Amino acid sequence: MSAVDEKKVNAAGQPDPNWEPNIVGFACNWCTYAGADLAGLSRMQYPPNVKLIRVPCSGRANPQFVLRAFQKGADGVLVAGCHPGDCHYATGNYFTRRRFLLFQRLLEFSGIDPRRFQARWISGAEAPKFRDVVTQMAEEVKALGPNRKLREEL
């Protein structure tokens, strides 16, 4: 067991109650990232578990991003972008919707809990929604515990 994992269990081998999930979020530049920014500007409180990676469009996030995040140690992955109809590039998120709906099912088929991979529509004005989504996902993934599946074993 690597040093990182040891932090997740206490001496008795029980799950560490202080363990915090590591969530990677791919956020569309035009909506979700702006929404997250607004949440920060508005001094909203939300758990710091989500590390956002800015992408030009949720359609830019492809399944490899998600798999790679799990490989590199993510306990959960979020893809978030503009609501359907609001895409900066007109239609990008309609492709996102089909792609990740399918991909979430494929992950489930591969044995990954679908709660570990989620997609959400969060507009630039929806700071409260960003806060709620992040809070909820952090709670859900925390309840699921550390993810070992697909993790790189180097």
Partner 1 sequence: MSDNMRNNVRDNMGHMNNQLTQEMRDLARELLASGEVKGLFGWTKGSRWYLTPPVFITKPEEADRLCYDEFAVNNLTGLLLDFRDSQDKIAVFVKGCDSRGIVRLVQDNQLKRENIVVIGVPCPGMGDKGAVTDHRQAQELPLLAKCLECRYPNPVLADRTIGAVTVTTEPSAAPSGATAEAAKGRGVGSKEADRFAQVEAIEKMSPDERYAFWQAQNKKCIRCYACRNICPACNCRECIFDSDKKNWVNKAATPTDNAFFGITRAMHVAGRCVECGECERVCPMDIPIMAMNRKLIGDLNELFGPYDAGVKADEKPPLGAFKLDDPEEFM
Residues that bind partner 1 (CB under 8 A): 63-64, 67-68, 71, 84-85, 91, 94-95, 97-113, 118-121, 149-153
Q: What angle do CA 95, 103, 107 make, to 5 degrees?
A: 170
Q: State which residue, 31 or 150, has the beta carbon closest to partner 1.
A: 150
Report the number of secondary-structure helices (H) and strands (E) in the chain.
Answer: 5, 4
For residue 144, the minimal CB distance to partner 1 (Å) is 11
Helix 63-71 and helix 92-109: axis angle, to 10°? 40
The dihedral formed by the CA atoms of 68, 69, 73 and 74, expressed in degrees to the nearest 10: -150
Q: State which residue, 40 or 85, has the beta carbon closest to partner 1.
A: 85
DSSP state of 9: B
The rounded distance, in Å, linking the Cα atoms of 149 and 92 is 30
For residue 151, the minimal CB distance to partner 1 (Å) is 7
Q: State which residue, 4 or 18, has the beta carbon closest to partner 1.
A: 4
Q: State which residue, 48 or 85, has the beta carbon closest to partner 1.
A: 85
For residue 41, the minimal CB distance to partner 1 (Å) is 24
